Amino acid sequence: MKDNNHVAITNLSKTYKKQNSDVLALNGITLNVSRNEFLCIVGASGCGKSTLLRILSGLDKEYNGSVSVGGTKISGPGLERGIVFQEHRLLPWLTVRDNIEFALQTGTQAEKANLIAGHLKLVGLAGFEKAYPNQLSGGMAQRVAIARALVNRPDILLLDEPFGALDALTRLKLQQQILAIWEKEKTTMIMVTHDIEEAVFLGDRVVVMSERPGTIKKEFEVDLLRPRNRSGVAFQQVRKEIYREFYADLM
């Protein structure tokens, strides 16, 4: 059965309290995400995208409105939600294996070893267990971060500009890889990106946020079969529509 409200955000607002003035970062966000959906969120710098992901991850609990997963209000970080940031955030003094094990919450040593090996294979890094983060390229380190975020088998993967710091070619490769993982694991994906083409390539739906205070400006269904052809007419048409919406305030 399709679960249209796997993630349900209703009238979410967030104000950062500052000494002299408060910053209204999000205002009246209402958004539902279906189970297994790949949702992309685009918006100008400072519009509150990371704030929204932090609230979904449970790292930020100070907000107004309601945010729930599977009908349960989010009250803090949970194993059913994994998160990947723009920087890999691996611990430099631990090997790849130990970085992933550090995140693993349950299991015997043998089960953990199996899970770690399985997830490294999933991200195409089988055999790199003993490497240290400084022996990996940026793309490889980010793949370890993805493996680490998936190792507790979350229902939802939150991705905060995960490919933003990578070169163009690595970025294209990791886009293919995250799609393959999504198709295999059926994880609900919520990805923030600055890159409209990336959003159209990956998303079932692309949400455009307004400038601060962040609101949902417009949603676009991306009704294109995968694998998507970036230079195809239909792809370019969707990209242009989103681009127009994205830059409407600036033109």
Ligand X SMILES: Nc1ncnc2c1ncn2[C@@H]1O[C@H](COP(=O)(O)OP(=O)(O)OP(=O)(O)O)[C@@H](O)[C@H]1O
Q: Which stretch, 46-54, 136-144, 176-184, 200-208, contacts ligand X (CB under 6 A)?
A: 46-54
| Interaction residues for ligand X, span 173-232 (CB under 6 A) | 212
47 belongs to the binding site for ligand X (CB under 6 A): yes
What angle do the packed helices 109-122 and 168-185 form, to 10 degrees? Answer: 130
Asked if 142 interacts with ligand X (CB under 6 A), we say: no
| Contact between 119 and ligand X per CB under 6 A | no
How far is it, in rounded angstroms, from Cα 70 to Cα 6? 5
- Tell which one of 45, 72, 108, 134 touches ligand X (CB under 6 A): 45
Judged by CB under 6 A, the number of residues near ligand X is: 13
Give min distance, CB of 47 to ligand X, in A: 4
How far is CA 218 from each of CA 41, 100, 205, rounded to the nearest angstrom? 10, 37, 11
Q: Is 73 exposed, middle or buried (0-12, 13-18, 19+ CB in 10 A)?
A: exposed
CB of 111 to ligand X, least distance (A): 36
Taking the least distance from each CB to ligand X, the nearer of 51 and 175 is 51
Give the list of residues 6+ apart from residue 181 with CB closer than 8 angstroms, or none.
122, 123, 146, 150, 187
Instruction: Dig out the tokens for 207 from the structure.
Output: 């949400």
Indicate the residue among 9 and 115 with the shorter CB distance to ligand X. 9
- By the criterion CB under 6 A, which residues form the site for ligand X? 16, 18, 23, 25, 43, 45-51, 212
